[in-house]
Every structure is written in C-alpha cells, then in structure tokens.
Copies of this chain bind each other. A is one copy, B any other.
Amino acid sequence: MADKYGNIPNIVIGRLPLYLRALQYMLLENHLVTSSKELAERLGISAAQIRKDLSQFGEFGKQGTGYQVEFLVRTLKQIIHVDTTWDVIIIGAGDIGHGIARYPGFNNQGFRVIKVFDNNPAKIGTKIGEFVVEDSATMEEKIKEGNIKIAMIAVPASQAQQVADNLVRAGIKAILNYAPITLNVPPGIQIQYIDPVMHLQKMTYYL
C-alpha cells in the first residue's frame, strides 16, 4: 500500500506491533535504551531484519548508541495510528464476546470497546459489565452515526460472513474475526483472525 512511507510490505507492518509491545515492556522495566540485538533476542527475529524494518520509517538509532525506547514507542504508535483511541464494537454476546468486552488489555493501546451487539432476543438488553447488549438490527445505523471503523466478530461461524457483509456496508474498515472461518471482504477492508489453532501449531514443531 502506498502512503507517506512509500510501499511498505504488509509483513513489515505486521511486525511493528511486536516491536511496540516489546518496547513498552522495556519502558515498564525502566529500560530506556535498547539495540536491534536486544530486541532480536526478545522477539526471535534477526537484528538485521529489525534494523531494516525500522529504517523504512526513518532514522531511529545512531550506529553504536542504540534506540531511545520512549521515542521509538511514541513514533511507532504514530506510524501505526494508535497514538489516538479507536472506538471498537463487538458483534456477538456469547462467551468470546463477553470475554473481549471485559478484556482489560485494550487500555492505553489505542482501542476502547464502546458497544456490544447480538441478534438473540434473549441477550439483547442484558448487561456485560458496563455494556447493555444492543440489537444487531440497529448496528448499521449506529456504526454510521458513530463513524465507527473497527469491529470484532464473535458470532458462530455460520453467521460470520453475513455479519461481515453488514459491517462493511455500514462503513467498517477493519475486522478482527474470532469465528473459525475465513471471510470474504472487499479490497481495502482489513481483516485479521484470532485463531488458537494457528498459535498451537507454531509450537508443536518443537514438541
């Protein structure tokens, strides 16, 4: 995708959140200067790759002096656009929907869940923490009103494609899908999958 940084491969963009997380942990540890070598050890990605990835966005470190962690965190947040807070909606008030509605990990990472929808009359109007589950029939209207761009799908696989279609029609631009199914979305719509199988399969090689 062409943008202010030029044509940067998806795979490079995909590594930036990993770098950001590792750097944020360093800050928590009051660890203020780091190196591509140290990041490499934490992340299992080569130091050369890390230097190459970061160099695509500017000059972050001087040869021999390393990276200033706080500056790099701030800059990475700007690059991936999480120096702001995005409103996010959840579709599906089942187990997973409940879990992510109450997930404490979004705080200060650029996201805030603002609404939870379901199409089951037995669930509409019930509470999940601070949220009252809203009727999916009102979802498109509320997405447009709120100019919401990000949604998380936590419905059964059989309903997920229909939900995705409705989301896209309403103006959603990025979908995080928990349903165990691959979704078709138009070009320009971002989609990511939460798939425990994929993570488990990254480990069994070593067992």
A99 within 8 A of B: yes
A100 within 8 A of B: yes
Copies in the complex: 2
With contact pairs A45-B11, A180-B104, A207-B81 given, residues A88 and B200 touching in the complex (Cβ less than 8 Å): yes
Contact indicator A111/B197 (Cβ below 8 Å): yes
Contact indicator A205/B25 (Cβ below 8 Å): no
- What B residues does A96 contact at CB under 8 A? 95-96, 99
Contact indicator B202/A110 (Cβ below 8 Å): no
- What B residues does A152 contact at CB under 8 A? 196
Binds B, one of A14-22, A30-38, A63-71: A14-22
The range of chain A's interface size is: 35 or more
Contact indicator A204/B80 (Cβ below 8 Å): yes
Contact indicator A206/B1 (Cβ below 8 Å): yes
Contact indicator A201/B110 (Cβ below 8 Å): yes
Interface residues of A in 157-207 (CB under 8 A from B): 157, 173-174, 176, 180, 182, 190-207
Instruction: Report Cα–Cα, A100/B194, bound state, in Å.
Output: 12
Contact of A99 among B45, B79, B94 (CB under 8 A): B94
Contact of A200 among B1, B98, B192 (CB under 8 A): B192
Contact of A44 among B10, B46, B95, B100 (CB under 8 A): B10
Contact indicator B109/A17 (Cβ below 8 Å): no
Residues of chain A whose beta carbon lies under 8 Å from any beta carbon of chain B: 1, 9-11, 13-14, 16-18, 20-21, 25, 44-46, 79-82, 86, 88, 94-96, 98-100, 102-106, 109-111, 149-150, 152, 157, 173-174, 176, 180, 182, 190-207
